Amino acid sequence: MYNPQYTEIRDLVSKFTDTEVAPLAAKIDHDGVIPQDLINKLYENGFMGSYIPEEFGGAGMDYTSYAIIVEEISRGCASTGVLISAHTSLCMWPILSFGTTEQKQKFLPGLASGGVIGCFCLSEPNAGSDPGTLATFAEDKGDYYELSGTKNFITNGKDAGIAIVLAKTTKTNDHKGITAFIVDTKTEGFQVQKLEDKLGIKGSTTAQIWLNKVKVPKANILGEVGKGFKVALSTLDGGRIGIAAQALGIAEAAFRYAKKYSKERVQFGKPISELQAIQFKLADMSTEIAASRLLIMHASYLKDNGLPYSKEAAQAKLFASEACMRITTQAIQVLGGNGYTKEYPCERHFRDAKITEIYEGTSEIQRIVIAANELKGV
């Protein structure tokens, strides 16, 4: 898996992160905004359209390269990492995988290299882990559908130009009848109602969206009518690899800082890195980071080669996100009182880590997915 191609990509993105992203991370966290200049540079370097084919304006890489990009960018700034992840895997991937040729030609170039940001609108006030209870309804009006409802916790929601929206086209109490739509957010009735004030990833906008009779042409149906649940599940499978990579990047950042600090901090007449209690913490962090990376690379490899990867993506997200929480917690412990202050970055890494156990499927949902795959056919 670690062939020269991936080493070159990692080196390239790592240098970009160290010079362009990491120096801005504290300000992004404080201000709650990712600078437009940085977003422009993400597009210029192909990071916003990594695995999109060149014919559709992308960089023509593969999913493993995308995971490396998200990991390295997240190491510098988790908010910027999830901007890329949600945009690439939740908005562009379903268009690439389920869209018609006309839809790909119309929407992907702008998203991949034209500065148009994408989002994915699935969750609702009463439909989070259970998408079968969606209340957003799409009424057939002949040449178009009219969408009405509320979407919650939409990453990139404030800034998106294109949204993948899941809505019921038949009124049922389960996942049947869900349809996916490609929606231009400038359409009348598409309204950002509020922005969430969050614990972490504060530079990433998380919005509540109101859909008030939003007219969507039938040409913008993604996949088949009534088959949107398949689109959603497939999209989330791939998205989980991206969130696992984000968690890994956060963990790596916390670990590197804790290791550096331990060599500089002197107590009892010697650097605390010489204390076995600290060494054991660093050893555990290092091991969990290595295991997370292997799980992510394995899931990405399967996806790139057209093999089943739902279980492996869930395993990668489950382990990497929970490891990230443990690692950022221990990083603060290594820094002691300093770790609890905003003068040092570990408290930001700790706050950014928690969401990786929640969005794109909670840890509990990942365990359900893994168990269901293991018990299949038993």
Q: Are 216 and 183 in contact (CB under 8 A)?
A: yes
| First-last CA distance in the chain | 31
20-58: b or e for each residue (b if 16 or more CB lie within 10 Å)?
Answer: bbbebbeebbeebbbeeebbeebbeebbbbbbbeeebbb
Is residue 196 flagged as an active site residue? no
Q: Which of 20, 312, 322, 360 is catalytic?
A: 360
Place of tokens 């950014």: 352
d(CA 23, CA 233): 36
d(CA 225, CA 231): 11
d(CA 33, CA 28): 5
Label residue 211 exposed, middle or buried (CB < 10 Å: 0-12, 13-18, 19+).
buried
In this structure, what token pair is assigned to residue 361? 């499927």
> CA nearest 88: which of 47, 41, 36?
47
Q: How far is CA 180 from the centre of its chain?
A: 19
Q: List residues with catalytic annotation.
A: 360
